[in-house]
Amino acid sequence: MTASISITTLHHQFGDFQALKDINLSIDAGEYTVLLGPSGCGKTTLLSVLGGFLVPTQGNVMIGDNDMTRVQPAKRPTTTMFQDYALFPHMTLQDNVAFGLRMRGMAKSERHAKADQFLELVGLRQDGTKRPHELSGGQRQRVALARALAVNPDVLLLDEPLGALDLKLRRSMQDELKDIQREVGTTFVHVTHDQEEAMAIADRIVVMNAGRIEDQGAPDRVYRRPSSLFAANFMGEMNQLPAWCEQHGVKTALGYLPGHDTANSTTQWTACIRPEQLTFEPHEWSLGSATIIDSAFFGSHYRCHLRSDEAPELTLVAYLPPSAAPKPGTKLPIYANPADISLFATEESKEAIEP
Ligand SMILES: Nc1ncnc2c1ncn2[C@@H]1O[C@H](COP(=O)(O)OP(=O)(O)OP(=O)(O)O)[C@@H](O)[C@H]1O
């Protein structure tokens, strides 16, 4: 089962503190949405509103065609999977997965068959008689997922579901979560502060900051063409060049940026370019030359700090291919494609100019 979600003009206050501000969000049925943002930005609060654990101060939550704003958690077509998994230690895995079905009055043989079906889905069918303490962290996470899905929710809410796992296991569980979501087709809403996790899993990323949505969309769009400076920085490493609108175009600390108009009167801008978008072969925009300060090997690339020769106060991050073997002190010409640059007003307004 699956359902769409529509949140309109939602605000939430804890006393005087405004935790959610004017949230508008539409999620399609069967979509995998990730709420991404730093600690305290309101991700869990928004998830709690979706799960019915909090009634928002203002605004509406529709799940499918039904207004769920004031409906209790148990009466919603949602299940929430918490970070600590909350498995019952004294119960077998099969009984853990069947627990929600028992609460709904399903007969024993039927609920055990259903539990086995969901244990199969997460690759633990043969472990049904074990107890949670006999499992690894990743396996416990899978049991919690099976238990959450066994009650057939339209929407599964996951709060930092991989937070307790080490990095390697986390990466492999991301693939599994995504595969399982595709197989069952349930709408998933997943909270994380890990940008790589969001990129690996999401159909839609919602970037939050200080209770607001800064950007939302497909991961590649939010990464390549973010709609705010905050989203640009949160989605990955970013070089930032001070820029000004002048009569002849947009002037940056490293020269005029070709192809950008000057219609906007805002005086202070930031031109953003990702490290992998800086190139060393001639391209449309020359950013002058730079000197390598240091480099670190990451297998697929070297990550280098470069000091601009034109503006020595500017340090840039660039990625060089593994064959480059960069040496400190080497000078490199730097180029970029102007279409890759995102420009954000940093004074007067927060709007972005399209190239
Ligand atoms: N019950 C509460 N009473 C008062 N303030 C709260 C309450 N719950 C959350 N807050 C505040 O609301 C803000 C948002 O909290 P929330 O837990 O939604 O953030 P988050 O983005 O999920 O953070 P984290 O990643 O650290 O879990 C925080 O500043 C938090 O202190």
DSSP assignment string, 30-91: T-EEEEE-STTSSHHHHHHHHHTSS--SEEEEEETTEE-TT--GGGSSEEEE-TT----TTS
Atom of ligand 1 nearest to the CA of 17: 5
Residues forming a β-bridge with 312:
none
3-state secondary structure of 199: helix
> What's the CA dihedral at 161, 166, 168, 172 to 10 degrees?
-20
Ligand 1 centre distance from Cα of residue 72 (Å): 21
**Whole-prediction pTM:** 0.91
- Residue 101, pLDDT score: 86
Contact 206, 35 (CB under 8 A): yes
Sheet holding 269-273, edge to edge: 255-257, 249-252, 239-246, 269-273, 342-345, 352-353
Mode of pairing for the β-strands spanning 285-297 and 302-308: antiparallel
Best residue among 10, 16, 44 to mutate for probing ligand 1, ranked by most atoms within 8 Å of CB: 44
Q: Which secondary-structure segment (H or E) carries 143? A: helix 137-150
Which residue ranges have their beta carbon within 6 Å of ligand 1? 14, 17, 19, 37, 39-45, 193
Instruction: Show the tokens assigned to 27.
Output: 């999620």
3-state secondary structure of 294: strand
- Residues listed for the chain: 355
Question: What burial class does residue 225 get, using C-beta atoms within 10 Å of its C-beta: 0-12 exposed, 13-18 middle, 19+ buried?
Answer: middle
Question: What ipTM describes this predicted complex?
Answer: 0.97
Atom of ligand 1 nearest to the CA of 208: 21
In angstroms, rounded to a whole number, what is the distance separating the alpha carbons of residues 189 and 219? Answer: 15
User: How many other C-beta atoms can be found within 10 angstroms of the C-beta atom of residue 205?
Assistant: 27
Residues forming a β-bridge with 242:
270
Atom of ligand 1 nearest to the CA of 45: 18
- Residue 349, pLDDT score: 43
Atom of ligand 1 nearest to the CA of 47: 18
Ligand 1 centre distance from Cα of residue 44 (Å): 7
In angstroms, rounded to a whole number, what is the distance separating the alpha carbons of residues 209 and 40? Answer: 8
Positions of the chain with pLDDT lower than 70, given as ranges: 261-267, 347-355
Q: Report which protein residue has its CA nearest ligand 1's atom 9.
A: 45
| CB neighbour list of residue 163: distance below 8 Å, 6 or more residues apart | 83, 192
Report how far Cα 353 is from the mean position of its chain's Cα atoms.
Answer: 24
Phi-psi region of 348 (alpha: psi -120 to 50; beta: other; left: phi over 0): left
Q: Report which protein residue has its CA nearest ligand 1's atom 19.
A: 40
- Residue 167, pLDDT score: 83
| CB neighbour list of residue 200: distance below 8 Å, 6 or more residues apart | 171, 174, 175, 178
Instruction: Show the tokens assigned to 17.
Output: 């503190």
Q: Report which protein residue has its CA nearest ligand 1's atom 31.
A: 40
Best residue among 17, 20, 206 to mutate for probing ligand 1, ranked by most atoms within 8 Å of CB: 17
Which of 110, 42, 100 is CA-nearest to residue 73? 100
